[in-house]
Amino acid sequence: MEPPVKKLLMSALLHLLCLTASLVSTEALAQTPPPTMTFGPNWSVSLSGQPRVGGPLRIVYDLSRLSHCREPSVGTWTLTGYAMTNRGPVQSFVVANDATVGTTAEVLLNLTTGGNLELWFQETHSLGCSNWDSNLYWNHHVKVWQNPTLTFNEGWTHSLFGTLQGGTTLMVDYDIDRLGQCRGQYMDYETWGVWVEYRINGGPVQTHDLTVAWGEWNQEFRKQTPAFIPLPAGPGTLEMWFVNMDRKGCAAYDSRYGQNYVFTFQ
């Protein structure tokens, strides 16, 4: 029989090891830097890490990118950032102003929605000067992950990020180049779309658009946008397929050859 003292020592040692592992894990998590989007000199842009809903995106901005609206002897200047997700409402935030010290500015942007995040910047002066950093009006784009997300890639593969759980909202990120057959136009206007059709637990079919209009008049074109599907309390089954149609009557489907994409959630 093992001596009682030895058992007590082993139990205490095991508890200490578990506590140490927990502290190390928590400390490592706290020291993990947030995803960072760096707007460097000479119009360079880089991203480190993967932005996710519920966390911040760190923006590091080199002030030499916009420096035409600064008159040190009179008035004040401000550098404002703008953020828009999935062509939704625009959020503005201050990046720097005449009180900023140094050659770079940093700001943390809280991420609340998954999908396509667009960023652009404007420098203004109280005397009326205005200058933009908007990637020649295309804006700067970054993909934000959400838990859960189903991604359908161009190469006919799909993957799941997170866990399909009842009571959550599923983001469907679909590459519209999977369905590129129907791209009809009328008088130089785009007259086509891609959408997802789905049903939950064999219920009625529902739809969500996967394209959004971009630009104006005859410069308008289509850009992909994610769909958001609320999942009811589980367990359950989600069945989906994808459709591409245009004004000229062209129709194409992505449905696993009629089998549809079927997923279970808890």
**What does the pLDDT read at residue 217?**
65
User: Which segments in the chain show pLDDT lower than 50?
Assistant: 1-2, 4-10, 12-29
Domain parsing of the chain, residue ranges = 36-144, 149-265
Which of 172, 178, 179, 164 has the alpha carbon at shortest distance from 206?
172
CATH architecture of 36-144: Sandwich (2.60)
**What does the pLDDT read at residue 220?**
73
Q: Across the chain, which distance is largest between two alpha carbons, in Å?
A: 91
> Which residues, other chains included, contact 232 with Cβ-Cβ below 8 Å and sequence gap of 6+?
166, 167, 200, 201
**What does the pLDDT read at residue 118?**
97
Which of 70, 60, 244, 59 has the alpha carbon at shortest distance from 152?
244
Which of 174, 175, 195 has the alpha carbon at shortest distance from 251?
195
Per-residue tokens: 139? 């804006």
> Which residues, other chains included, contact 173 with Cβ-Cβ below 8 Å and sequence gap of 6+?
114, 115, 143, 149, 150, 151, 152, 226
Phi, psi torsion values for 251, nearest 5 degrees = -140, 135
Asked whether this chain's domains 36-144 and 149-265 adopt the same fold, the reply is yes
Task: Report d(CA 242, CA 258) in Å as an integer.
Answer: 11
Pick the CATH number of 149-265 from 3.40.1350, 2.60.40, 1.10.3120, 1.10.3470: 2.60.40
